[in-house]
Structure 1
Amino acid sequence: MKKALIVLTNETRYGETAEATGLWLGEATEFIEELENEGIEVDYVSPKGGFVPLDPRSMKYVDDSILSYYERPDFQKRALTNSLKPSDINPSDYFVIYYTGGHGVMWDFPNNHELQEIALSIYNDGGYITSVCHGIAGLLNIKDENDEYLIKGKKITGFTTSEEVLAGKKSIVPFLNEEVATKHGANFQKKRAYKEFAVYDQRLITGQNPFSPRAVAKLLIEEIK
């Protein structure tokens, strides 16, 4: 069976500020756990490859499951220390690409053409493009062979503007996911702030916030079964 490709950020801070950010840990581990329970293998890629920082705020919201993955030597090595570079990836090895969140992705996901090409290749081969929370930033600028935004006319979700306000980061982030998704023609869906929510449309599966990675995974598993 083909594998799942997990996309992680390399960004350590909010733009030019001195405030630390990075991967929101649970958004990776909770999705991965659901897939591994189904016998699905995963690989990890980041825009630059190598080191993946953790968003320190995410460590306040860990449970035994998240910590158990964090403590696994293989996760530490393959995800957090030696993530693959886009040039290492053969898209035909994967049936799904999953963009994780954490505010860092707002800087290194949206305009990474190598990752966009990988995602589009997986999608055009009948696979799935998925994301959670800020990970939607990786989908916003993907264009299809007709030079149309892939999200145009499709139901998607991601970290909302109201959630960005509640997080206290609206004035720091370089753009607002909800705003750009709507501008690019998506049918942006949302529910109450910080409540689990995921949506499926035409092999795009997206989750709203850090409480939604398992919901994304379960929708994916339902589809492939």
Structure 2
Amino acid sequence: MKKVLLVETNVTRYQGTTDPTGLWLGEAAEFVDEMNQDGIAVDYMSPKGGFVPLDPRSMKYTDDTIMRIYEDSDFIERALKNTLRPDQVTPGDYAAIYYTGGHGVMWDFPDDPNLQRLAMAIYDNGGYISSVCHGIAGLLNLKDAQGKYLIAGKQITGFTTAEERIAGKKSVVPFLNQQVAEAHGAHFMKKRFYSEYAVKDGRLLTGQNPFSVRAVAKLLLNELQH
């Protein structure tokens, strides 16, 4: 069975501030745990390759499973220290791409042409594009061969404006996921803030917030098994 490509941020801080951000650990670890249970191999990539910073706030939301993945030497080496660069990835090797979150992705996911080419190559080959929380930033500007936004007319979800406000980051993020998604023609779906929610529309699989990781993973596994 083909592998899944997990994408993480290289951004260490909210731009223009000294406030640290990075990968939301659970959004990688819980997804990896679900893939491991089904024997699906995962590779790790970031826009620049190499080091992936952790959002320090995400360390307050761990459990035994997240810590077990975090302490695993393979995860440390491949997901946090030495992620692949896009030019080291062959899209034909992957059945799906999964965009993790953490606020950092809002700066390095949306407009990276290398990420966009990879995601669309996987999608055009019959693969899946999935994300959770702020990882939706990787989907917002994807366009098909006709130049149409991939999310146009599709039901998707991600970190909501209400959740951004509650997180206290509405004034420092470069955009609001919900606004951009709707401006690009998507049907932005949501449930109550910080409740588990995942949406499937064709081969787009998206989750609303950090509590939706396993729901997204299970949607993907169900597709891969069939």
Shorter-chain TM-score above 0.5: yes
1:159: which partner in 2? 159
SS of equivalent residue, structure 2 residue 150: coil
How many angstroms apart in 2 are the aligned matches of 1:82 and 1:220?
25
Q: Percent sequence identity over matched residues?
A: 66
1:111 deviates by 0.4
Point out where structure 1 has 5 or more consecutive residues left out of the alignment.
none
TM-score by length of 1: 0.99
How many angstroms apart in 1 are the aligned matches of 2:157 and 2:129?
13
Number of residue pairs the alignment of both structures matches: 225
1:222 and 2:222 aligned = yes
1:199 and 2:194 aligned = no
1:47: which partner in 2? 47
1:210 deviates by 0.3
Q: State the 4+ residue runs in structure 1 displaced beyond 2 angstroms.
A: none
CA RMSD of aligned residues (A): 0.5
2:107: which partner in 1? 107
1:14: which partner in 2? 14
How many angstroms apart in 2 are the aligned matches of 1:168 and 1:180?
19
Point out where structure 2 has 5 or more consecutive residues left out of the alignment.
none
After superposition, where does 1:114-153 map in structure 2 within 5 Å? Answer: 114-153=114-153
SS of equivalent residue, structure 1 residue 212: helix
1:32 and 2:32 aligned = yes
SS of equivalent residue, structure 2 residue 59: helix
SS of equivalent residue, structure 2 residue 43: strand
1:145 deviates by 0.3
2:170: which partner in 1? 170
- 1:76 partner letter: I
How many angstroms apart in 2 are the aligned matches of 1:150 and 1:36?
29
1:61: which partner in 2? 61
How many angstroms apart in 1 are the aligned matches of 2:89 and 2:39?
21
1:12 deviates by 0.3
1:223 deviates by 1.6
How many angstroms apart in 2 are the aligned matches of 1:132 and 1:72?
22
SS of equivalent residue, structure 1 residue 149: coil
SS of equivalent residue, structure 1 residue 196: coil
1:213: which partner in 2? 213
1:35 deviates by 1.0
Encode CA deviations 1:162-221: one digit per residue, 9 max, x unaligned: 000000000000000000000000010000000000000010000000000100000111
SS of equivalent residue, structure 1 residue 4: strand
SS of equivalent residue, structure 1 residue 26: helix
How many angstroms apart in 1 are the aligned matches of 2:80 and 2:10?
9
1:95: which partner in 2? 95
1:182: which partner in 2? 182
1:224 deviates by 2.0
1:38 deviates by 0.6
SS of equivalent residue, structure 2 residue 211: coil
